[in-house]
Chains A and B, each alone.
Chain A
Amino acid sequence: MIYLDSAATTLQKPPKVARACAYAVGNLASPGRGGHRAAMGAGQVVFQCRQQAASLFSMENPEQVVFTLNATHGLNIAIKSLVKPGDRVLISGYEHNAVTRVLYAIPNLTVKIASSPLFDQKRMLEAVERNLTEGVDAVVCTHVSNVFGYVLPIEDIAKACQRHQVPLIVDASQSAGCIPIDAGALSAAFVAMPGHKGLYGPQGTGLLLCGQEAVPLLQGGTGSNSKDQTMPDFLPDRLEAGTLNVTGIAGLLEGLRFVAQKGVSTIRNHEEALVRRMGRAFEGMPKVKAFWNGGQPGTQAGVLSFQVEGWDCEELAQKLGAMGFALRAGLHCAPLAHQTVGTLEEGTVRASVSAFNTPQEINRFVDSVRRVVARG
């Protein structure tokens, strides 16, 4: 199988990830819950993971790195900490349901949408600026569209938010580990990300980088301040009730080390090159409509959506699946992004790459699409 669904989860991981998980299952207990070797060993691994993440994302203090179950969990904490009923919230036209459903559940919210055509960063920034000038209470913005790979100008959006003194929540689900993120420079209120995509950790891991005070989503034991019946007022304990996923975190640590060793910029260049190869090949193919940036650097990450005339997207993905390619079709849990681009009714087939994909794999994939199109 050639795996091209890394925007959902990277399946190919560095071998050390599985080894670290296996070691954790047999040797590590609950961090912060005891003074014995297995508990302290778990605490050490958890702390190393915080430090590694803080370093990768230029966070000064590892206590601001909070472990979550996934990006959705982190986004729930972030949004529910910042957004109150009656607020005006600005989002991009490329948000995932992990953002829009959370907002939809908050009563009396005014949700404004800043939109731009695909890969047009200038117009996206203009739309954000325009809405900020009109007045909003918070901005929630994805860094990279999970459907189209569109890289939003998050650094400029963050600067605009700072100028208008509006807190920013960044959904880094598709960018963490794939595009350099300097969370310190962004000065975002929160940056949420999964551990199981570009950071190569196992499923069930995520990180929330906290730039400001947060409201706990869960209450419970933290191994600290136990006499007090309110949650601790300090991070990370405030947001980490209950036993941590030490097994997952041990694997995530190895994933983070892999990314740091390889270099995020190297990974980005590699993934961009693969998408460029795919986009160029699709461009010359009749009946294929590929949503790619035409090779314009810096505007598309390792994700490319496409449609084939006469084919239902799910049936096409199934056909290509039978030929050995793992893809995802449909709306990708992001109907707003599809609505923005005009693909809400028909959906798309999405190919997404990782550091482990090769140009040869892309060639085989493109050849297979060509054969399917030729057969009709």
Chain B
Amino acid sequence: MNNIDERIPKSDVVLSKSDFVSDQMVKWCPGCGNHAILSAVTQVLPQLGYKKENYVVVSGIGCSSRFPYYVSTYGFHSIHGRAAAIASGMKIANPALSVWVNTGDGDSMAIGGNHFIHAIRRNVDMTIILFNNRIYGLTKGQFSPTTPTGSVTKTSPYGTLEAPFNPSDLVMGAQGTFFARVADNQPKHLAEVLHEAALHRGTAVVETLQNCVIFADKTHAQVTGKDVRDDNQLVLEAGKPLLFGKDKNKGIRLNGLRLEVAEIGKNGVTADDILIHNPSEPDPTLQMMIAKMSPPHFPMAVGVIRSVEAPTFDRLTEEQINEQKAKSPIRCVDDLLNSGDIIEIR
């Protein structure tokens, strides 16, 4: 399942992280989670082994969308919400490119929600890094589609009235083939998950729990804080039980149609009762339930939640073209113009 894209030319030389660091000054706030994500991406790109000129990084608008300036690749910093549509066009038009999208919670799920879900539905081969900081940062602190209900922001002085999106619901609702979640303050895990996403063929969405130090500081602290991480984070691994806690003695089991936390050794709970993580299960029901877990009653799942094989739109497009090229009598425009009902004047 985890394959490199054989349509993308391989680099003749071994590339390193420094090959992908651009000469531009990085203008994110000190302490912003974006720095860690940038570092992880420049670490992963050379590991994939493609030629440097075959990477394209695309973004929309927002703090995270400055990303293309900071990686030394072909880049496109586009308009608000449209990166997924632009990236779709790139990969379909030229499948020999490794296409990366950087997008924020507002960019992908508010103004660009339609492009986001439809790119996922088509399964166009690209990696979408979703920087979820639960706030509009670049416009200085308005609530976003992932801001928790009741949050006081510049545009919700008395608290927000709306329910937030859980990005996993959109991805899986749109029949996504890959969804992962990872915290911005765990660089090793971040790079591992991004690497796995890049090796997924299809639309891979990685939600990064990204901290905005200025407008939503510690918004993910309940999950990512070092002091609470053991109890509030469940690090997923394919084929392994859903265990968490400092001593890995707590786990997730199914009770009827609901998940529940169970402590091994208490009330007759044994290791066999704990669910085993299967990200490649085509039916997303259990993966959706796992993705929706959050404190205080559950830990939040991080790592690869869903990764299933399915044909990609760009490859199907190519196949259809090759099929028609092999069987259609129309091989050039002159053939086309001279087909059909012709009236000849002599």
A and B assemble together? no
| Chain B interface (Cβ < 8 Å from any Cβ of A) | none
Chain A positions within 8 Å of B, measured between CB atoms, are: none
